[in-house]
A = this chain, B = another copy of it.
Amino acid sequence: MPKAVVSRLSLYLRELQVLVRDDKKTISSTKLGRLLGVTDAQVRKDFAYFGQFGYPGIGYRCEELIQEIRGILGTDRMWLAAMIGCGNLGQALLGYRGFQSQGFSVQAAFDIAPEIVGSTFHGLKVHHLDSLPGMVEEKGIQLAILAVPAEVAADVAELLVQSGVSGVLNFAPVTLNLPKSVSVVGVDLAMELEQLAFAVVKKGEK
């Protein structure tokens, strides 16, 4: 299965949730594809990797398809996460409503700076990083959102691995080299802007 399929699955899910909010009951591969800029065949093939979810002559039932996708992605259960680093970005992410609504619950927050440890942001008290291993165990935390400065990201990531988390969402602008038992997804905001700059330049040339 192509690995791009999984990111399209997230995209389909997001669009289906919009459709349900607008009281749409069913949607065809053609219409769903049009909304997202992919072909109808692509939509059908993507779902076909996981099962037969459609109804010939009808399309896909939105609510049902949402459940199927959530089951595939694993977001039908609640995932417990820890926020690591409560500076600018970490604080903002603690207040982000979109995580909770998609199946992610930030259970604990950590930092190392004396002026931040002990503070409360969006109802969550910040603990010292030293207490991370214990709390991961105690609370059953599976994922970490890493929002620390680049210089310390590698070391902190190492600590996360030792603490037993299974996945890291890395906002630090460095490539983490972790054991392959731990999954990593990187989000580099400056890189995204670079991609945008390139797209603009290319368009200007055409």
Contact = CB atoms under 8 A, between A and B. Distances in A.
Interface of A: 6-7, 9-11, 13-15, 18, 35-37, 72-75, 79, 81, 88-89, 91-93, 95-96, 98-99, 101-104, 142-143, 145, 166-169, 173-175, 181, 183-185, 187-201, 203-204
B96 A173 contact: no
Given A14-B174, A36-B175, A189-B98, A143 B196 contact: yes
B189 A93 contact: yes
Chain A facing B: main interface SS: helix
Given A7-B195, A194-B10, A198-B74, A203 B181 contact: yes
B197 A103 contact: yes
A185 B194 CA distance: 10
A99 B167 contact: no
